[in-house]
Amino acid sequence: MANLKIVRDRIKSVSNTQQITKAMKMVSAAKLRRAQTAIQQMRPYANKLNEMLRNILSNLGDGANTSFGIERPVKKACVVVVTSNRGLCGAFNSNVIKSAVSTISSKYAEVRKEGNLTILPIGKKGFEFFKKKYADCNVIGDHVEMFSDLSFENIAVVSQYLMDAFANGDYDSVSVSYGRFKNAAMQFAEAEQWLPVQKLEIEGESSGMVADYTFEPDMQTLLEQLVPNILQTTFQKYLLDTHASEHGARMTAMDKATENAQDLLKDLKLSYNKARQEAITAEILEIVGGAAALESA
């Protein structure tokens, strides 16, 4: 009987867990719809603006008087790591962190060695990892809770800080590691250089052909207004992408957990039925044995 009680308790525990994972899946699915709509509306706009910015800076060459496109030797750098605040979303956070670690190892190893690497985590999971594992770096924890408000105004506070720091020479390079959303089942951890703006390869450059732009009111005024806005829009895209990726990964993980719980329940119920049948058979044998003993007495 003790074995039957253990199995019953186990079945009850798994059933309760299954109810939780099913509820979490439904919540993530509802949040995913809103997050997916936001990034799908933002991405084409942000990508086109970013392409336009890179194209303008590439064609203007030395005539582009903006600090955000100037490349200089990387002596001080910042890596922005965009993760979620909560877990239970599979390997999503781990993959983003691995992407950031790979960027640091391959691109900023010397900068870190000199003690000039800054890490700016957005999301608790990234902050907890880098605060513990990268004690030799300057880990900024001021913007961990940014996912509570993903409005353009709130995100612009961080992007403006990074742009000001780059323009003032506090950072020579700024990279962002984030999760790019494709669909509910597929998210990709990526790392991109945000500053300085990478220039496009210009077709016809070898023949000396350069695109001719007409600026109104003038080139300098346009660059001063256009470049910061495009960079802030691109930075917002990183966060919206990660936000949608988090909910997609969590929905998928909870769906798999619910299926695994169902499979486990089948096995436990089968074990319970077998144990109960064995107990019943043992009792019948005892009764038959007792009756036989009385008849022979």
Max intra-chain CA distance, the chain:
118
The DSSP code sequence of 158-218 is: HHHHHHHHHHTTS-SEEEEEEEEEEETTEEEEEEEEEESPPPPPPTTGGGT-------SS-
DSSP strands (E only) in the chain:
77-82, 117-122, 138-139, 173-183, 186-195
φ/ψ (deg, to 5) at 188: -125, 130
Catalytic (active site) residue 137:
no
Residue 267 burial (CB count, 10 A): 10
Between the CA of residue 263 and those of 6, 19, 198, 219, 270, what are the distances in Å? 18, 14, 50, 65, 11
Between the CA of residue 47 and those of 102, 178, 181, 199, what are the distances in Å? 24, 16, 14, 14
Q: Residue 13 corresponds to which tokens in the numbers above?
A: 């525990």
C-alpha span between 255 and 18 (Å, rounded): 10
3-state secondary structure of 237: helix
Q: Are 131 and 155 in contact (CB under 8 A)?
A: no
Task: Compute the C-alpha angle 145/150/155, nearest 5°.
Answer: 80
φ/ψ (deg, to 5) at 122: -115, 110
Residue where the block lists tokens 């008849």: 295
Among the options 42, 60, 79, 89, which is catalytic? 89
The DSSP code sequence of 27-39 is: HHHHHHHHHHHHH
Residues known to be catalytic:
89
